[in-house]
Structure 1
C-alpha cells in the first residue's frame, strides 16, 4: 500500500495574495477591455509603512487597519514606464525586482479557443491570427496573476462574455505558464 501524505498547510500569505490579485483585477476591470499589459509590484504594507511613514497619509483607514492586523497584507504598486517589448514574454524577461519587493502581479488580455478549434488553427502566423480573431467560439479573457517570492501564486480570470465581478474564476494554478514566468522575474 502507498504512503499517505498529508497536504501541506497553506502559506500564511495565500489569502492576502488572493485579496491583492482580486483588488488588482477589479481595478483593471473598471477601466474596461482592450487594455495594455499592466504590471504591479507587491509589497507587504507594514514594511512599506516602516520604510516610508508618509505612505500612511495616502492609504485608507481600512487598509491601515488590515495592515496592522495581517503581517502579509499587500499593497500593489503599478509600474509605469515599462520597457518596450514585442510581447509579454519579452517584457517579463527584462524585469527584475529588488529584495524589498515581495511579489509581482500582471494583468493581460488574451483570446482563447476551445481545444478542438485550437487544433485546427493554421500554422501560418497571419492566417492563425485571422482564424483566432474571427472564430465564432473565441473567448476574450483577462488574466490577473500574482506570485510571491518563494511563496504562493494566485490567478483571477474574467471573460468578456461574463463580465461581472461575481463571475471571475480564481485559484492558485489557473495559468501555470504565466505563474512560472512571473516567478522567474523574482529570481
Structure 2
C-alpha cells in the first residue's frame, strides 16, 4: 500500500502535516515496539521561532532552515506529565490546547484481528484478551495520527510484521475514530 493514496496534490499545510506525522511515527519507531502512548502538540515552526527565538537551539538545524522557507512547517512537541487515564479515549477526553497550538498528534500501538476472529472470542474480558493475544491472524500496528485546527488530518500506519520506513502506509482518514477524538481536543 502506498503512503500517498490521495490523487489531488496536497496543499502546503497538508504536506507539512504529512511530514510531521511521518517524522513523529519514525521517532517513536526508533524507540522500538511495546511502547507507551505519545501525545504531541503541533506548532508552526516559523511562528514558534519568532515568539521564542531560543527554540532554535533545541530544534534540528534542518527544521530551522526549512521553517525559514516553508511557513507551514510543523514541529511536534512531546507532552510530558499527561493526566492519568485507563484508556486512550479517557486520556484524549482530558486534553485541551491553547490557541498557540496549531494541531495535535498521537502515536499509539494497537493489536488488530480480522472481524471474523471476533466471532469465537470469549465474553469474559481476561479470556478475550488472551484469545486475541494468541490469535494466529493478530497484527500489531502503530498508528500516528495528526490533526490541525484548520481541519486537515493525516494518519501513518506501520505493522510490526512489515517494520520498515518504506512500508508505512498513510491517508487522511485511516483511523477515523482517532482523527475525530483528536479534533475534539482542539475545540
TM-score relative to the length of structure 2: 0.92
Equivalent residue number for residue 134 of structure 2: 134
Gaps of at least 5 residues in structure 2 are: 1-6
Q: Secondary structure at the match of 1:13?
A: helix
Aligned position for 2:177: 177
Distance in 1 of aligned mates of 2:13 and 2:152? 7
Give distance in 1, aligned partners of 2:9 and 2:158: 28
Higher relative contact order (CA 8 A, sep 6+): 2
Measured after TM superposition, the shift of residue 118 of structure 1 is 2.6
1:71 aligns with 71
Per-residue deviation, 1:60: 2.8
Instruction: State the superposition RMSD in angstroms.
Output: 1.5
Alpha-carbon spacing, 1:13–1:106, altered in 2? closer, same or farther (3 Å):
same
Q: State the partner residue of 2:39.
A: 39
Tell me the distance in 2 between the aligned counterparts of 1:124 and 1:20: 40
Q: How many corresponding residue pairs?
A: 181
SS at match of 1:182: helix
**Structure 2: distance between partners of 1:61 and 1:38:** 24
Q: Distance in 2 between matches of 1:164 and 1:174?
A: 19
- Which protein shows a greater Rg? 1
* SS of residue matched to 2:161: coil
> How many Å separate the matches in 2 of 1:138 and 1:62?
39
Q: Which residue does the alignment assign to 2:146?
A: 146
**1:58-97 paired onto structure 2 within 5 Å:** 58-97=58-97
Whole-angstrom distance in 2 between the partners of 1:157 and 1:185: 21
- Separation of aligned partners in 1, 2:182 and 2:11: 18
The aligned counterpart of 2:27 is: 27
1:179 deviation in Å? Answer: 0.3
1:123 aligns with: 123
CA deviation digits over 1:108-162, x for unaligned, max 9? 1100001211333233322221111110110011110000012210001111111
